[in-house]
Amino acid sequence: MYNEAAATARKPVTIPALQAMKAHGEKIAMLTCYDASFAAQLEAAGVDVALVGDSLGMVVQGRRSTLPVTLEEIAYHTAAVARGLEATLLIADLPYMSYRDVAHAREAAARLIGQCGAGMLKLEGGGWVCGIIADLVAREAPVCAHLGLTPQAVHRLGGYRVQGREPDAAERLLADARAVQEAGAAMLVLEAVPAPLAARVTATLNIPVIGIGAGAGCDGQVLVLYDMLGITPGKRPKFSRDFLAGAGGVSAALKAYVDAVRGGRFPAAEHQY
């Protein structure tokens, strides 16, 4: 049950605080979120970071991919989630083509941070996005990068497949990770990459690395909220776990997730590649 007194007693989770958690070896617990009610539950459970992911296109809207999600839709959900949070850091995804150039990226940042309450933006890819990252950071818009399986590139990748298995691909991913950090990204999400590669990236970078299907060697973990509660229709990803099963309720499931991440019990061997 949501405990307002306990939630408001938490110190705000800031970007420097996440950096300190990495330095001290403290695991970061992150979940996606799409509305104020679930946001309040995440807050009470002690989740460090809430992500308004473009995953909402699939788990909320029932679409086949994240590609149709618009900036307007992300803005709507970001504002809703912000109303349920006090201490938890809020990240908003930049949806497909919303950061195709500097002008559009700045417009998206002004909307999501300036108007909707996000504290950071997340965008996918390496290479050309480094210029976008540098421009946003120079204008005080913090950025979380996203490498590995990048859902907005589903057509180029040929589906939702593990990335970085081959030596050349692994080296390219490591180079991209270094590049986004150099461009100014304050955090990195690694999705669906072999655990040894993710651990190598985490050890190489100074910024926190959050894994999703990237093994236990990352600085923290993120899951899609509905996957973690076992309510996503169809087959869940290998890297997910149903924390609601046997928990007795949503609040207990969220707390179990946070405890498992902090204690290094999630992800286990069966959740990684």
Question: How many degrees, rounded to 5, is the angle at CA 184 between CA 181 and CA 185?
Answer: 65
Are 47 and 85 in contact by the 8 Å Cβ rule? The answer is no
Helices of type H across 147-230: 154-157, 167-183, 195-204, 225-228
Are 223 and 269 in contact by the 8 Å Cβ rule? The answer is no
Asked about 191 being catalytic, the answer comes back as yes
CA dihedral 253, 255, 260, 266 (to 10 degrees): 50
- Among 51, 52, 40, 55, smallest CA distance to 7 is for 40
Catalytic residue among 107, 171, 191, 270: 191
In order, the DSSP letters of 33-100 are: --SHHHHHHHHHHT-SEEEE-TTHHHHTT--SSSTT--HHHHHHHHHHHHTT-SSSEEEEE--TTTTS
Question: Where in the sequence numbering do the catalytic residues fall?
Answer: 191
